[in-house]
Amino acid sequence: MNLFSLPVSNGEDKQEDRNSALSPLAGEGWGGGYATRAVSPDPEKAPARQPHDMTIAGAALIADPAGALYWPEQGLLAVADLHFEKGSSFARRGMLLPPYDTAATLALLTALIARYAPRVVIALGDNFHDGDGPARLGDRDHDTLRGLQRGRDWVWIAGNHDPEPADNIGGNFFAVLLVGALTFRHEPSRKASDGEIAGHLHPAARISQRGRAIARRCFVEDGRRLVMPALGAYTGGLNIRHHAFRAVFDALDFRAHLLGPDRLYRFPARRCLSD
């Protein structure tokens, strides 16, 4: 068994693979319970994607490797936990993180909207990292956001970080939104609820293959309900074996779909490791 092999294909898109292959200490950037984003930092350069289907409560959905959900029947795009202005929220408390996160998250959204041209966009709560976030939004980012909202319905779901509607950010504000068979909300409800699409938990999963642990953000679903990965540029991940997920899904009878640069990887929960 050759554990050191490099990708044989010469595709430029494999460069990152080679890099991590050669770093003896490569730890997948896992410090402090975080899963790194799969390497595809630049949405414009992202390679062709394989469609990844899932069905929740009978609704046929497409999960995008960037971490968004598209519902073709409704022309609906859902994204979770954008955490706009997380950088400036930290800056307020004395940690002057680079102020580029909102723009980066918006760029990702722009690419997704260009890809699916949705009629409706639903942001599943924790859209801003804190209640003052909308007021700190820079002019350029504000314009970008308004541009994305033009010609389509835009729904802000209330999150625990931003429970109140904010002025001047467009769209409509809901605590919970029902569309057809699906219910869109921020926190997964405690009672089993068919057709629920939620965020809040920032799911990430850990897989071990050939002795190497790999952590990624992921979708988690059991066919009845779905928890989406966080999309925000500075958002971390929470392991799906954490007890918080026990309130949502039955013991290990669910699936994780790990994000890769151009596809998703599906695993049964029992295959995923705890921290």
Partner 1 sequence: MTAIDTEVETAAAQALPATFRDWFRSRGWQPRVHQLDLLAQTQAGRSTLLIAPTGAGKTLAGFLPSLIELSQRKTQPKSPTTKSEVSRLRSTGRGVRRDGGLHTLYISPLKALAVDVHRNVERPVADMALPVRLETRTGDTPVSKRQRQRRDPPDILMTTPEQVALLLASADAPFLFGSLRCVILDELHALVTSKRGDLLSLAMARLHRLAPGLVSIGLSATVAEPDDLRRFLVPQPMEGEALASLIVAQAGAPPHVTLLDTAEHLPWSGHSARHALAEIYELIRQHRTALLFVNTRMQAESLFQSLWHLNDDNLAIALHHGSLDVGQRRRVEDAMTAGKLRAVVCTSSLDLGVDWGDVDLVVNVGAPKGSSRLLQRIGRANHRLDEPSRGILVPANRFEVLECTAAVAAVAANAQDTPPARTGGLDVLAQHILGCACGEPFLAEDLFAEVRSAAPYAGLTRKDFDDTVDFVATGGYALKAYECFAKIRQGVDGRWRITHPRVAQRYRLNVGTIVEADMLKVRLVRARGATGLIPRGGRLLGEVEGYFIETLTPGDTFVFAGEILKYEAIAENEVYVSRSTATEPKVPSYAGGKFPLSTYLAERVRDLLAHPRQWRALPDQVREWLEIQKRRSLLPGLNDLLVETFPRAARNYLVCYPFEGRLAHQTLGMLLTRRLERARLRPLGFVANEYALAVWGLGDVEQALRRGDLSLDTLFAEDMLGDDLEAWLDESALMKRTFNHCAIIAGLIERRFPGEEKNRKQMTISTDLVYDELRKHQPDHMLLRAARADAASGLLDIRRLSTMLSRVRGRIVHKALERVSPLAVPVLLEIGREPVFGEAADSLLAEAADELVKEAMQ
Q: Which of residues 230-259 bind partner 1 (CB under 8 A)?
A: 233-236, 238, 258
Helix/strand/coil for 86: helix
208 is a site residue for partner 1 (CB under 8 A): yes
Out of 98, 147, 163, 180, name the contact with partner 1 by CB under 8 A. 98
Q: Shortest approach of partner 1 to residue 177 CB, angstroms? A: 24
Yes or no: say if 245 and 237 are a contact pair by the CB < 8 Å rule: no
223 is a site residue for partner 1 (CB under 8 A): no
271 is a site residue for partner 1 (CB under 8 A): yes
Which of residues 166 and 230 has its CB atom nearest to partner 1 in the complex?
230
- Residues 164 to 193 in contact with partner 1, rule: CB under 8 A: none
For the record, the structure tokens of 13 come out as 């898109």
| Binding window for partner 1 (CB under 8 A); candidates: 19-27, 44-52, 56-64, 180-188 | 19-27
User: Rounded to whole angstroms, what are the CA distances from 122 to 29, 54, 177, 235, 275?
Assistant: 30, 18, 9, 18, 31
Query: Which residues pair with residue 220 across a beta bridge?
Result: 227, 256
End-to-end CA distance of the chain: 27
| Binding window for partner 1 (CB under 8 A); candidates: 50-58, 68-76, 94-102, 219-227 | 94-102
Query: Which residues pair with residue 30 across a beta bridge?
Result: none
11 is a site residue for partner 1 (CB under 8 A): no
Out of 52, 202, 217, 225, name the contact with partner 1 by CB under 8 A. 202
Burial class (CB in 10 A: 0-12, 13-18, 19+), 273: middle
| Residue (of 156, 157, 222, 233) closest to 192 by Cα position | 222
Query: Which residues pair with residue 196 across a beta bridge?
Result: 183, 225
Spell out the residues 6+ positions from residue 5 whose beta carbon is closer than 8 angstroms to its own: none
For the record, the structure tokens of 224 come out as 């009845």
207 is a site residue for partner 1 (CB under 8 A): yes
| Binding window for partner 1 (CB under 8 A); candidates: 20-28, 114-122, 144-152, 179-187 | 20-28
43 is a site residue for partner 1 (CB under 8 A): no
Query: Which residues pair with residue 241 across a beta bridge?
Result: none
Out of 49, 90, 132, 152, name the contact with partner 1 by CB under 8 A. 90
Out of 43, 75, 99, 223, name the contact with partner 1 by CB under 8 A. 99
Out of 150, 190, 191, 210, name the contact with partner 1 by CB under 8 A. 210
Task: Please state, in angstroms and rounded to a whole number, the distance separating the CA atoms of residues 73 and 75.
Answer: 6
Beta strands 225-227 and 196-198, pairing class: parallel
- Residues 101 to 160 in contact with partner 1, rule: CB under 8 A: 101, 103-104, 138
Q: Shortest approach of partner 1 to residue 166 CB, angstroms? A: 19
- Residues 56 to 75 in contact with partner 1, rule: CB under 8 A: none
Which of residues 38 and 78 has its CB atom nearest to partner 1 in the complex?
38
For the record, the structure tokens of 153 come out as 């319905």
100 is a site residue for partner 1 (CB under 8 A): yes
Which of residues 94 and 151 has its CB atom nearest to partner 1 in the complex?
94
Helix/strand/coil for 57: coil
